Amino acid sequence: MLGLYLHRDSAVHRWPAGVKMGGLLAVTAGVMTLPGAWGAALAGALGLGLLAAARLPVGRVLRELRAPVVLLTLLFGFQALLAGTGWAEAAVAVARFAALVLLATLVTLTTRVADMIDLFERVFGLLRPLGVNPAKLALMLALTIRFIPLLAEQVREVRMAQRARGVERSIAALFVPLLVKIFTMADDLAAALEARGYDPADNGR
Amino acid sequence: MIEFCSVTHAYGDRAVLSDLSFRLTERRVAILGGNGSGKSTLARLLNGLLVPTGGSVTVDGLDTRTDGRAVRRKVGFVFQNPDVQIVLPTVEEDVAFGLKARKIPKEEIARRVTAALDRHGLARYRHQPAHQMSGGEKQLLAIAGVLVLEPDHVVFDEPTTLLDLRNRRRVIETIRALPQKAVVVTHDLDMVMDFDRVLVLEDGRVVADAPPAVAVPAYVERLS
Amino acid sequence: MLSTRDLVLCALFAALLAGLGMAPPIPLGFLPVPITAQSLGVMLAGALLGAKRGGLAVLLFVLLVAAGLPLLAGGRGGVGVLMGPTGGFVLAFPVGAFVTGLLAERFATGANPLRLFGTCVVGGVAVVYAGGIPWLSLVAGLPLEKAALGSLAFVPGDLVKAGVAAVAAAAVRRAGVLPAVHA
């Protein structure tokens, strides 16, 4: 399954996922604690530096950023025009998050989905004493990726049936066969997993 | 050898199979029967996916009720719809799934996956997502995922029902070439003509049990 | 402990959520904004799978979004979306499914669509907004009440979705394919 990852030969791409996510968390905490616009300015500069270092096409990065930036600008305009007060605080908040969203987007564009999922598994592994089983989580994530094209196809069929009949009120009725099918598929898939030797009581890796 | 001893099976109060007793020792056994005859249930009893509500099923002396795990190692199962059998995103990962569940060392998994993909003509799809394959290729992938585990017996539940003619041929050839013993639940009369034994199931009972030359015409007659 | 079937069901519902995001938005004549069906999946997961499995299913979905799969409506995904102005709504999805499930297990175990509608409104709408609005307020530097006001435009659509989810969930329960929700 293709993620948003954009391959380039850069040091930023080669940094481990854990370093990038940990760094993002640290920068976020820093930006939120630094007073005024200082945090936003530093994070913004860091973001632009990393953008250059990662050799990503600027147009593509901007496209990822467009939706949140447009929304933030609208909200800010709304705030400044209608409320009249507090716009300086709002400007700082918007600048902070614009910079953080840029950094976060860079993390996503430079990290493979598989590496990110590995990281999640390791993080959830820390919760093992609480009864969390990272192997099960990993299996569920892989199963989900496998089923997405199947379910996307099924949803498309439901939407086509809806359009073909021209009914808007019976959307619920159209989803029922799909949901029932999911439950019967679950029976078969569970049987298939166990037929191939999967044991749900197995806690190891 | 797979042995059924006075097997009955019911879902709640709906009886599906009643008092079946037989021993399967032949290399190729077919189970024929119409919709609702109980043949899918019978197939799932063969490897312990279901345990009978009455009587017992044993595989090489192992009871499916008490040794389910060991039985599933001995008996591979191929489902009718490969979409519910392929569980991981890429071809390679999916074939490796059962091997990983058995905690086989990585190098050996890689070797066996390569061999299985080569044998079933799937090598060029190795790193591709399974959902991009055709129906027939998916069925071959599902079969590869079972055979890579080297079971002693393989059960097929209507393996050709959803396939077009060409892919049906490929699957039939694959089954024909299996070194293992195979039990095939099917409507596909052509496929079973060179089998050793055919059981015909009707309303949860065996109504014919003979070589195909005898059992298949009897089945066709009952249908008409 | 989660059975094999539970694992599969969670994965299937997570995939359903992704599939719903890929479908084009449904235009409804009387609403200004077309509704995306994704939060419908959140409510369905809670109502049909219960608190634990429903919440887990939606968590899987959010993890895959965070991992960089473009599964949110409009083909968006990645950590950036989660940190952006609407990120709070997405992060609240798993909690919303969990609460929907919790309420369904207590108050709507049958196939009564009205009771199911109530659980979907509380879990799938109120809880999700309770997560989304403070986040929006923080990100955009808006006072809380303004952020809430701005989100009001989406409430009618979400109520319609709660209705759809309730009717569909009731019908699925009548179909008798569900295992006991409490098991």
User: Cβ–Cβ of C140/A79 closer than 8 Å?
Assistant: yes
Asked if A191 has any chain B CB less than 8 Å from its own CB, the reply is yes
CB contact under 8 A, A198 and B86: no
Instruction: Tell me the per-residue pLDDT of B157-173, one tens digit each, with 9 for 90 and over.
Output: 999 888 888 889 989 99
CB contact under 8 A, C142 and A90: yes
Average pLDDT on A123-137 reads 90
In the predicted structure, residue C48 carries a pLDDT above the cut 90: yes
Q: Tell me which residue has tokens 């569970």.
A: A190
The pLDDT score that the predictor gives to residue C117 is 95
Domains in chain C, ordered, with CATH? 4-175 (1.10.1760.20)
CB-CB neighbours of B13 under 10 Å: 5
Q: Are C167 and C113 in contact (CB under 8 A)?
A: yes
DSSP letter (8 states) at residue B199: E
Neighbours of A102 (CB within 10 A): 24
Q: Which residues pair with B91 in a beta bridge?
A: none
Instruction: Tell me the C-alpha distance between C68 and A66, whole Å.
Output: 17
Facing A194 at nearest CB: one of B49, B94, B146: B49
B116: helix, strand or coil: helix
Q: Is B88 close to A193, i.e. CB distance below 8 A? A: no
C85/A97 Cβ within 8 A: yes
pLDDT higher than 70, residue C51: yes
Give the residue from C62, C89, C172 with the most A CB atoms within 10 Å of its CB, the best one to mutate.
C172
Residue C140 or B112, more confident: B112
- pLDDT value, residue A83: 63
Q: How far apart are CA B42 and CA B46, in angstroms?
A: 7
Closest CA to A124 of A145, A108, A139: A139
Q: Which residues of B touch A185 (CB under 8 A)?
A: 84
Interchain CB distance below 8 Å, A75 and C142: yes
Q: Where is pLDDT greater, at A172 or A6?
A: A6
Closest residue by Cα to residue A195 from B176, B153, B118? B153
Closest C-alpha to B54, from B18, B87, B79: B18
Tell me the HSE value of C64 on the side-chain side, using a 13 A CA sphere: 30
| Domains of chain B: residue spans and CATH | 2-223 (3.40.50.300)
**Is A185 in the B-facing interface, judged by CB distances under 8 Å?**
yes
Beta bridge partners of B76: B154
Mean pLDDT of A127-151: 92
B173 min Cα distance to partner chain A (Å): 23
Helix axes A134-165, A113-125, angle to 10 degrees: 130
Looking at the complex, report in whole angstroms how far the Cα of residue A198 sits from the nearest Cα belonging to chain B: 5
Q: What is the pLDDT of residue C147?
A: 85
Distance CA A188, CA B83 (A): 10
Residues of chain A contacting B85 with CB distance shorter than 8 Å: 188-189, 192
**C7-44: pLDDT as tens digits:** 999 999 999 999 998 877 666 555 545 566 788 999 99
Which residues of chain B neighbour A193 with C-beta distances below 8 Å?
Answer: 87
How would residue A82 be classed by pLDDT, with cut points 50, 70 and 90?
A: low
| C164/A175 touch (CB, cutoff 8 Å), yes or no | yes
Q: What are B79-100's pLDDT values in tens digits?
A: 989 999 999 999 999 999 999 9
Helix then strand then coil, in percent of chain A rounded to 5, is 80, 0, 20
Which residues fall within 8 angstroms of residue B122, CB to CB, at 6 or more apart?
Answer: B91, B116, B137, B140, B141, B144
Cα separation, B5 vs B22, whole angstroms: 7
What confidence category does residue C181 fall into, taking pLDDT thresholds of 50, 70 and 90?
very low
The four Cα atoms B98, B104, B105, B110 give a dihedral, to 10 degrees, of -40
* Alpha-carbon span B136 to B142, nearest angstrom: 10
Q: For chain A, how far is it from start to end, CA to CA, in angstroms?
A: 24
**Residue contact B79–A191, C-beta within 8 A:** yes
Tokens read off for A89: 């605080």
Nearest CA to B80 out of B138, B16, B122, B150 is that of: B138
- How many inter-chain contacts (A to C, CB under 8 Å) are there? 234
* Better-predicted residue by pLDDT, B125 or A205: B125
Token pair recorded at residue B52: 């009978």
Q: Which residue in A185, A117, A114, A190 sits closest to A153, CA to CA?
A: A185
8-state DSSP, B82? G
- Stretch 94-113 of chain B: residues touching chain A, C-beta under 8 Å: 94, 97-98, 101-103
* Average pLDDT of span B181-197: 93
How many angstroms away from the CA of A24 is the closest CA of chain B?
29
What is the structure's pLDDT at B66?
93
B99-133: pLDDT as tens digits: 998 889 999 999 999 999 999 989 999 999 988 89
Query: Inter-chain contact B149–A196, Cβ cutoff 8 Å?
Result: yes
Give residue-wise pLDDT tens across range B14-56: 889 999 999 999 999 999 998 888 998 999 999 999 999 999 9
Whether residue A68 and residue C48 make contact (CB cut-off 8 A), yes or no, is: no
* Positive/negative CA dihedral, C110, C116, C120, C121: negative
Do residues B42 and B209 make contact, with C-beta atoms less than 8 angstroms apart? no
- Over residues C152-164, the mean pLDDT reads 88
Q: Which residues pair with B75 in a beta bridge?
A: B153
Say how many residues make up chain C. 183
* Secondary structure letter of residue C179 according to DSSP: P
Q: Rank A53-57, A176-180, C51-55, C86-90 by mean pLDDT and report only the highest.
A: C51-55
DSSP state, residue C33:
S
Give this complex's ipTM: 0.90
Provide mean pLDDT across the span A79-100: 78
> Looking at residue A205, what is its pLDDT?
43
Set of chain B residues whose Cβ sits within 8 Å of the Cβ of A194: 49, 72
pLDDT of C118 higher than 80: yes
Neighbours of chain B (3+ CB pairs under 8 A): A
The model carries a pTM of 0.89
Phi/psi class of residue C141: alpha, beta or left (left: φ > 0; alpha: ψ in -120 to 50)? left
